[in-house]
Structure 1
C-alpha cells in the first residue's frame, strides 16, 4: 500500500533518482527517504510544524533527532509563542546561535537535562577571544532554558548561573565628539542625504531601524510621532519627539527626499536597516571618521542631553529606553563632566 501524506511531492532528477520534498506556501524542503522511514516521518512532522531550517531536520549527516536532546528542545522552543513573538531579526540571530551550539562536538544530541553550568562555562571560556559571541551564546541558552522551565520541561536553568565575560570595550560603540560632528558636516553639506542622516540621528536619538522609516506621514504639528521598530510586537514604545528648528531646516533643504521616508537610496527607494548602515559607513569613511558609526550618534545625542543637565527620565523620553541602565552607560562620561563642573562652581561660589 502506497503512503500518501499532505504536502509531500516527488521529483525525479536528471539521473532518474526520486527525491522527496515537503512543498507548502511556495517553499520546498528536502525530506530523507524512503517514505515511511523513521527519519522521513520525523522530518515530515518537523516541516509540518513550520520548522524549515535544514540544520534542525533529520538528515543523513545529523541522523535522527534524539528525544530529550538539546536539539529536540530547540525545536520545541522555535515552535513556541515565546520565540515567535520575538522580532524577526532577533529570531534569526538566536536560532543561528543555538544551531551552532548544537553542532559543536554534537552537543545537540546530548540530553538537555544533563547540561550543567560547568559545561556552558567551559565552552564560554573557549570563546574568550570573542567575548561578545561568548556572551551571546550564554544569553541564548538562558532563554532556551527559561522556555524549558516555563513550559515544565525542566526544573532549572543552568545558564543563569554562568557569568558573562567582561567586554574589552565596556562603553560599546564610540560616541561622537563635537569635533567629529563638525568634520562630518564639513564633508557633507546641507542638502545631501548624508547630512540629513546625521541630523536625523543626532536630533532624534533613534536607532537606524527607526531612522530609515521616518517620513512625512510621521509629522504632526511639528512633532515626529512613531512607534519604535525594536520590540514593536512585544513591548511597543510610542515616541513623540519635537522637530527642532535645525532639523527642520535640513529636511527642507535636502534634495530628493522620498514620499514615504525622508531618506532614500540613489534609486529613490527607502533604505533597509542594513543597507543604511553600510551607506553611513561609507559616508563616515569619506569624512575620514573610521571610528564613528550611526549608533554612536545615538550615544552622542544622549550625552549632549546629559551635558545640558537633562535627567535620565528626560533622556529616556527621547531615546525610548525602557530602563535607565543603558542610558546611564551612554551618558556616564557626560554626567561626570556635568557634575564636576557643578561641584567646582559651588566651591568657587563658597569662596566668593
Structure 2
C-alpha cells in the first residue's frame, strides 16, 4: 500500500524486526521518515524529501503554515507530484514547457474548491476529481480564454499520464471543450509595417537580419536564435538545414528550406554573430524570451510598438497564402503536421479573392452602360439580351 500511494517510499525491517519507512530515490541516499504513515508530520517530511529530490514542489511552499501544502496520499497534489517526477514529464517536454506546466498546476492546486472554502483542489481525492472540477477551474479564467484553455490542456496531460500509470481510471478533462477566443492573437504584420521596419533598420544591422530570418524562413523565435551560417549548404543553391526546437524531445523534426535572395543579402551584409547569427551584446546566443524582448525594443524604435516577433510568422503565412500558396505548401514552409493551421490562411485568402472577383455583381449597372441581362419573353422563354440603361421603347 505504501509503494502504491507514495512514490519513493519503501519499507525495511531493522535488526529487531521493526518496520521502518524510508524515502529512497535511487541512486540517492535513504532518508528515514519518522511518525505514523499519513500523519501531518510524516507528510511534511515526505514533501520536503520529494521537493529536494525532484524539484517538483517549491520547498518554501511545503513549509507554509496551516498544513495547506501537505501531500496527502491519493490526492490530486500527490498525483501531480508523481507526474512531475515521472520519466514522461522529464523527457517528453522541454524545460520551458515543464516550467510553464508546473506554474499552471501549482496555481490550480492552491485554489479552494469553492469561494472561501477550506478544502483546496490539492486535497481533492483523485477518484472525486470530476469533469465538474475541471469546468470550475477552466471557468475561473473565462476572462482570459487562452489561460483557461491552458488549464484544460494541462489537466488532460496529467490524467492521460495517470491512466497509463494506473493512478486514475478516467480522464475528467478529456471531453471538456476549450473556450472560444475572439482574438486573432498577436498582431499580424502588414507589408507596409515590414517596409517601415526595414527603412529604419537598414541592411547590415542585427535588427534587419533578425526580421529577415523571421520573415523569410517562417521559423519561430525559439528557432531563429539557433540558426547559424554552418546550417547553410550551398550545393548548388543555398538551403538552410535545422531541427525545430518545439517538440524536439517527443519527435525531432528536421527542416530543409531554400534561402531566398533577400535573406542571403541580409546574412552576407551582417558582420556580427558567432555560431548563431543573432547574439547578445555580450556575444552569447539569445534565449527565446530574451530575443523577444530585444526585438520588441527594435520595433519600438521603428515606430511599431504593436508589432512583435510572434506576428512575423503570421505575416509570412498570410503573404504566401495571398500569393496562392496551397495548404500543403504552407505546411512544408512552416513545419505544420496538419493542414488545419494552413487552412486558416488559405480560407482567408480564397475568401478575399472570391469577394474581389464577385463584389461587382452586387452593384446595379450604371446608367448609359450596356450589360447582358436575362429577360423572359412573351412566349415564356428565358434568353439573354443586351440592353442599355435607357428606358425601352
| TM-score interval for Structure 1 and Structure 2 normalised by the shorter chain | 0.7 to 0.9
Mean alpha-carbon deviation: is it higher for 114-123 or for 292-301? 114-123
CA shift in 2, pair 1:129/1:209, >3 Å? same
Deviation of the 1:336 alpha carbon = 2.5
1:134 and 2:134 aligned: no
Deviation of the 1:328 alpha carbon = 2.4
1:196 and 2:209 aligned: yes
SS at match of 1:220: strand
Which residue in the other structure is 1:302 paired with? 317
CA shift in 2, pair 1:63/1:316, >3 Å? closer
TM-score (norm 2): 0.74
Which residue in the other structure is 2:244 paired with? 228
Query: Distance between the aligned counterparts of 1:341 and 1:32, measured in 2?
Result: 74
**8 Å Cα contact 1:39/1:59 also seen in 2:** no
From 72, 83, 86, the equivalent of 1:77 is 83
Gaps spanning 5+ residues in structure 1: where?
Answer: 1-21, 25-30, 346-350
1:207 and 2:223 aligned: no
From 336, 342, 347, the equivalent of 1:321 is 336
Which residue in the other structure is 2:256 paired with? 240
Which residue in the other structure is 2:125 paired with? 111
CA shift in 2, pair 1:88/1:344, >3 Å? same
Mean alpha-carbon deviation: is it higher for 191-200 or for 146-155? 146-155
Query: Distance between the aligned counterparts of 2:60 and 2:339, measured in 1?
Result: 38
Select the structure that is richer in helix.
1
SS at match of 2:242: strand
Deviation of the 1:238 alpha carbon = 0.5
Query: Distance between the aligned counterparts of 2:52 and 2:282, measured in 1?
Result: 40
Query: Distance between the aligned counterparts of 1:33 and 1:335, measured in 2?
Result: 69
**8 Å Cα contact 1:32/1:58 also seen in 2:** no
Deviation of the 1:269 alpha carbon = 2.3
The superposition leaves residues 34-58 of structure 1 with CA deviations (integer Å, 9 ceiling, x where unpaired) of 9x95145413551475235326974
Give the alignment of 1:322-341 within 5 angstroms.
322-340=337-355
CA shift in 2, pair 1:156/1:52, >3 Å? closer
SS at match of 1:158: coil
Query: Distance between the aligned counterparts of 2:73 and 2:248, measured in 1?
Result: 35
Larger Rg: 2
Which residue in the other structure is 1:38 paired with? 42
Which residue in the other structure is 1:18 paired with? none
Which residue in the other structure is 2:278 paired with? 263
Which residue in the other structure is 1:167 paired with? 181
Query: Distance between the aligned counterparts of 1:112 and 1:165, measured in 2?
Result: 24
Question: Number of residues paired by the alignment?
Answer: 315
Gaps spanning 5+ residues in structure 2: where?
Answer: 1-22, 26-31, 113-119, 361-371, 373-393
**8 Å Cα contact 1:70/1:109 also seen in 2:** yes
**8 Å Cα contact 2:159/2:171 also seen in 1:** yes
**8 Å Cα contact 2:148/2:179 also seen in 1:** yes
CA shift in 2, pair 1:152/1:39, >3 Å? closer
1:59 and 2:75 aligned: no
Which residue in the other structure is 1:50 paired with? 54
From 125, 133, 143, the equivalent of 2:139 is 125
**8 Å Cα contact 1:46/1:57 also seen in 2:** no
Query: Distance between the aligned counterparts of 1:127 and 1:336, measured in 2?
Result: 33
Which has the bigger relative contact order, CA under 8 A and spacing at least 6? Answer: 1
TM-score (norm 1): 0.82
